[in-house]
Structure 1
Amino acid sequence: MLTSSFTRRLDVDVVGFADPDDSRLMTIGGSCNRIPPSWAIYLEHERFFAQPHLHYLLVDLADGGAKVRCHGGPPPCTNCQRLDFDCSFGDGGATTIPSASGSAAVEMRRGARACLECRSLKSRCTGKLPSCAACLRRGKTCTYPEPKRTPARQAEASTPAVSDTPTTTAAASIRHDAARSPTSDGGHHPLPPLRDRLHLVIDFFRHVHPLPSFAFLNEESVTQRCLEETIDEALVSAICAVSALLLGHSRYHPVATSAWAAAVETAVWANLEHPTIFKIQALLLAIQYRVLVGDFGRGFMLFSLASRSAAALRLMYERTDLSPLAQEIRRRLMWSLVMMDVGFATGLPECEVYPVETVYLRLPGPEEAFTADCDPDTDPTLLDPGLDGVAEGGLLATYVQLGKVRRDLMRLRRELQPITQPTPLLVPTIDGIVTSLDEILPRRCSAAELRRYAGSRWLARYLAVYLTWHQCHCDAYRLLLSGYKEAAPDTVVHGVPPTYVARSVASCLDHARAIIAIMHDANALSPRLRVAPPDMAICGYHAARLVLFISSSPQNPPDTGITEADALTQARSVLDIIKQQQKPGAAMDKVIIKVLGKIVHPAAAAADQAEHGRDSSGDCKLPNARFRLHDTRG
């Protein structure tokens, strides 16, 4: 039998347009740790054998009690007609349901095909229309494959009933076609069987959930719903797509994963006027998938849909009437949208959908409180740190605070670009940003702390926080690095006292070296990080560019400076680390490797330029990739 910790069910009802008080989240007593794959298989078998037998034969009870196999055709069935039996299939094989108008009746008939959901689970399908018994029992959307040779029935079915209004018929037709039409990403690919699906979900929470941009799902509730097969189909499709992509499952990526991501978008469009928390979570994962594979434009446009759905559910406001877990789910989802908005807007106010000033939420709580369904202000010493014994310690809240500083730095750089004269406000602005960074994270990364996190799942989040902290310092100080691409105009830099400029350049070099040192220490850990945060490649790219530029610049500090040979060696080591940590199928990593490779290997870049007869320094497969590389961190 299942233990009580695995049989607890977490029900989340989401706020819609009509009644905002319908959002409820039942609290759960205690916490549930990660379910190992062996437990998942055991639980699946327990769930199967606890249900009534699913595989049965359809028979006709003829006179005399003889049993004859029924082929499911229209009554009378073929065998009963051949044997001259009274066919009982017509008595119970069809069910009449009153229509919406009440003046006509629609007869549910048995189909001869298995639906796609039953095919994916390899279970017997009753074949009834519009939904089979298995899908009705599981609460799934029942979808049948398009028939190959039934033109007469299709023509008959396409004729609307007399009682149907044109509006209702058109809306139903649009949604039906949207749900059943093959996607542009390679057609329909059903989700894997439950056991493989559970492996993908468990791997997601072990390796992907620690990344700050994926920290908005609750592990226990999602895993339990997946076991019970009550999870939203769009959400589990998105989880499987992202998990298979980042963990390099060639069995599913890229054909199946792209189809799953497209299915999420189709499901959202089919219920566009009814946003839910589950649909926003699924859409946010689908957007992350699009960005990871290089479909930046599609992700950018889909984000507006996710943000509008969040506004409809008023996620930017606290809901103190909900349980702590429900509040934290809403809170984390909203902050994830805000952080994604920062990356998409890149400091352009006209591109911002959710300015930080319009979000009236507290910061995300520690992971231990999120797992235990406790108030975020609970004493951390009273909470279970998890199986690995290392507490997350509020790293996600720190990352969100750093994201706000990143937004301010990107805005500052764009405001300085058109200025043609010195501004006295630049120095106090930079000092204020540096002071806020020191308040957010008062201490630097240490090798001992890094080794402590190496034994836990929070290593990726720890690295993301400290790499971003150092990169924010670099973004602030490089404004005064005259001649650098992301620096302020020379007229502005010349108006700053030379001693302040020299200190800023030295500090910029110091933080760039710190980024490279963290990357070296993280790469030397054993076992190696399974999914590295995107910040590692992006921050490493900027650090390599900074040390190379400063080494050949007149502003190179005389005492603590760096030689060109040392800078080139460090930049090449960064490139090697990025290659080793490259995520399978991640387009941004490929762009960074290509651009940085041409910087640190100029001879190869010159040969490539001569071969193709053009400047290839900015050549890449993604549109505006260089713009994103330079602007992602301000």
Structure 2
Amino acid sequence: MHEAELDTFQNLGDLTIPRLQALTLLAFFEFTYQVHSTKALMLVGLAARLAFAKRLNYEDPALSIVEQESRRRLMWSLFVLDKFCSGGVDELTLVSAEHMEIRLPTIERAFGFGQRTDTEVLRPRIEEGLPVSNAKGMDEFAYTIRLLDLLRTKIHKYAISPTSGIELTAGRFAQRVQSTDESLYTSAQDFLVLDSAIDTIEQQIPADIKWDKAHLQQRMYATSLSSYIMLHTWRLQCKLDLHRLTVSGTKDCISETALRNTPLTFAQNMRLKCLSHAIELTKMWAEVLDLGLARPVHDAAISGCAHQCAKILTLIPDQVGYSAPGQENRVGAVLVCQMMIEPLKDIYPKAKILYDDVCRMRSELNTVPIPDPSNVARHMNEPEVGITMQANDEDQVRSLLNQYNA
């Protein structure tokens, strides 16, 4: 690592594509294997500027098919890494979607054989309200890039960015919903646009890479297994990130005042949808665990997704007023999250921290007494502001929680 770093920094005036690839790998290593690394942010910044200087964000038809695709993959790798290193903060984002003039990566088989395929740009054009999608040469990585672009560029901006200058797909401007005391309902239209955008990307995914137990088993020993699992993990993670804005106890929850000002029905509906997506995610991961592989997912990002999912499963049932027996179902669902992180905890320091926290959540669930059903849950425990919950929506919540062991 030190030799590669030294070679790169000593040859910044004559940086070749292989050296740029090495610099990208250095940044990836720093981000993945260090708990907090400002060095990764600096390395990505350098790599991004050099990539733009070499115009890797533009197609070059003069190159061979393999070389075009190789450069394309390098640029998209930087795009994804920049999204993670910047944390969705606009000021820290260097590789913006607007500057990505290249097509998305092609399927591995076509790359290996040097075959030309049709792939799309990051954001397909819209005709009559529907995206134009004609590509047949895109695999899991291409659609994952689209989901990460939506998650980091639009969903996170909707939640944490300033109130002005944030243009969404529908041409509206999002509010900084986590930093305002306004009702979340005032930006419901923006919320629905983003929710619909996730569904649109899901609809674009070809039938042969949609989530299906048979598709999962077919990939059991294929190199694409981890990418396949992560594609659908990110699909549901986008839903979780959007719907958890009313889940108290998460860092992404809107302010207490905003929560009290938000109509209870709207807030509860968001929580229930968030719970539903978390359950869907754990059921999907349970099918992965059934494969019996030592490490089905190689991507360290799965640990963050599993940790957030466990937190939602731990918090939401009590917040929606669920008080019936069934605690063991929740414990089992959190155990699935724990088992997804376990193979990575001895490899990635971040994964070990998150694994220990999920173990703590599971342990606390095992010891928490079942709430008294006679207590009426209140919206943020503030009866004088907002609306008192009516009777628990017991049937809907029970139906969701019963899916844990289905």
- Which residue in the other structure is 1:43 paired with? none
- Which residue in the other structure is 1:282 paired with? 22
1:563 CA drift (Å): 4.4
- Which residue in the other structure is 2:389 paired with? none
- Which residue in the other structure is 2:55 paired with? 314
The DSSP-based 3-state class of the residue aligned with 1:542 is: helix
Pick which of 441-450 and 469-478 moved more: 441-450
The DSSP-based 3-state class of the residue aligned with 1:552 is: helix
- Deviation string 1:514-557 (CA, Å, 9 cap, x unpaired) is 2212222112214444653223222111111001001221x257
Give the alignment of 1:117-132 within 5 angstroms.
none
- Which residue in the other structure is 2:270 paired with? 504
Please state if 1:566 is matched with 2:322: no
- Which residue in the other structure is 2:139 paired with? 394
Name the aligned partner's letter for residue 462 of structure 1: Y
1:269 CA drift (Å): 0.6
Pick which of 534-543 and 286-295 moved more: 286-295
**Structure (1 or 2) with the larger CA radius of gyration:** 1
Name the aligned partner's letter for residue 286 of structure 1: L
Contact 2:179–2:254, Cα closer than 8 Å, also in 1? no
Structure 2 counterpart of 1:457, from 196, 209, 223: 223
Name the aligned partner's letter for residue 14 of structure 2: H
- Deviation string 1:160-181 (CA, Å, 9 cap, x unpaired) is xxxxxxxxxxxxxxxxxxxxxx
Name the aligned partner's letter for residue 157 of structure 2: R
Contact 1:551–1:564, Cα closer than 8 Å, also in 2? no
- Deviation string 1:215-255 (CA, Å, 9 cap, x unpaired) is xxxxxxxxxxxxxxxxxxxxxxxxxxxxxxxxxxxxxxxxx
In structure 2, relative to structure 1, the CA distance for the partners of 1:291 and 1:326 (3 Å cut) is: same
1:496 CA drift (Å): 4.3
Provide the rounded CA distance (Å) in 1 between the counterparts of 2:28 and 2:117: 27
Name the aligned partner's letter for residue 476 of structure 1: L
- Which residue in the other structure is 1:271 paired with? 11
Please state if 1:405 is matched with 2:150: yes
Contact 1:369–1:376, Cα closer than 8 Å, also in 2? yes
Structure 2 counterpart of 1:352, from 72, 76, 93: 93
Larger helix fraction of residues: 2
Provide the rounded CA distance (Å) in 2 between the counterparts of 1:585 and 1:577: 13
- Deviation string 1:578-614 (CA, Å, 9 cap, x unpaired) is 21x2264311211111222233234999xxxxxxxxx
Provide the rounded CA distance (Å) in 2 between the counterparts of 1:494 and 1:568: 30
- Deviation string 1:330-374 (CA, Å, 9 cap, x unpaired) is 111111111111111112111111122222222212222211212
What TM-score results when the alignment is normalised by the length of structure 2? 0.74
- Which residue in the other structure is 1:594 paired with? 356
- Which residue in the other structure is 1:104 paired with? none
- Deviation string 1:243-291 (CA, Å, 9 cap, x unpaired) is xxxxxxxxxxxxxxxxxx1111101011011122111111111222222
In structure 2, relative to structure 1, the CA distance for the partners of 1:548 and 1:531 (3 Å cut) is: closer
Count residues in correspondence: 329
Give the alignment of 1:230-249 within 5 angstroms.
none
1:438 CA drift (Å): 1.3
- Which residue in the other structure is 2:80 paired with? 339
In structure 2, relative to structure 1, the CA distance for the partners of 1:417 and 1:502 (3 Å cut) is: closer
Name the aligned partner's letter for residue 108 of structure 2: E
Contact 2:195–2:239, Cα closer than 8 Å, also in 1? yes
Name the aligned partner's letter for residue 317 of structure 1: Y
Structure 2 unmatched runs, 5+: 120-135, 161-175, 368-406
Name the aligned partner's letter for residue 368 of structure 1: R
Provide the rounded CA distance (Å) in 2 between the counterparts of 1:562 and 1:417: 34
Provide the rounded CA distance (Å) in 1 between the counterparts of 2:73 and 2:219: 22
What TM-score results when the alignment is normalised by the length of structure 1? 0.48
In structure 2, relative to structure 1, the CA distance for the partners of 1:599 and 1:527 (3 Å cut) is: closer
Contact 1:307–1:337, Cα closer than 8 Å, also in 2? yes
Name the aligned partner's letter for residue 582 of structure 1: L
1:485 CA drift (Å): 2.6
